[in-house]
A and B are shown apart, each in its own frame.
Chain A
Amino acid sequence: MADRFAPGDRVRTRTADPPGHTRLPRYARGVCGEIVGTCGRHPLADERAQGLDSAPRPVHQVRFRAADLFGPGEDGRDHAVVVELWEDYLEPADPEGDPR
């Protein structure tokens, strides 16, 4: 099965707050970023934490602008934060269009 996302895609992170363990940090929920790399396929940490079998799936490096995560900084300067996220946490930034 083809991966849902590839480097260069614009994605939006999910907003839901799951009841158990997750590796989608709270500060990076519901935010748009760009996939800048892919780091292999790994079982989903959320499922492993519940003792469930979990099929390996792609994990992506998603680059966010700090202003999109935290709002404009006091000094007006921006930086970038790259977060490593399972594809389960991601949806296309533009759901109508093809992310490619």
Chain B
Amino acid sequence: MREWIAVFKRGIAIDNPLTVLMIGLCATLAVSTKVEGALFMGLAVIFVLGMSSVIVSSIRHLVPEKVRIPVFIVIIASFVTIVDLTMKAFVPDVYDFLGVWIPLIVVNCMILGRAEAFSYHNPVRLAVADGLGMGSGFAIVIVVLAFIRELFGSGEIVFLGANLLSLPDGYPAPGILVLFPGAFIVFGFIVALTAWYNRRTTGRTVETSAHCTIEEGGR
């Protein structure tokens, strides 16, 4: 059980897919203009990553090394299709907002990278922990990023039509935070902050890397 928790926690902090491993960035920056969209994106990724970890890990002895990548892709694509159709049916507004980003979860290198680097070599129990941990790490960062951008960029947070939080009326909202440059800049500061925190707590510099090859998706 302790091992399970350790694997789960690693995805959230020390090996966070976004701020440390630097995988799956595209969707993060693009959908973080609204907390609502970011939250659903996070949930979609947790679901796809968790479920595909289970399947990949449970069939790992049956799948030959040579055809593993296409097999992973088909597994992931099936779960993404489930999310695609479910969201379209139940939360059409969010679906329209996320648009092309839902099908793009298939090629989100985070999911293929974890299947390749972790689930394919580990028992189901740990693969689930890794999937849920990495998914949660992704969801936390994307929601934080969206929170900063929506609150300070537009002065209020609107969630499913309800106004959750708003700044005082005279607040001059710098719209640039909601536009695309804001995403890069706010995320740059979040990465710097995580690097600083990780160095303080672990006493070592955690190398941030920005690689998206299947071959080197982690350890």
Q: Are A and B subunits of one complex?
A: no
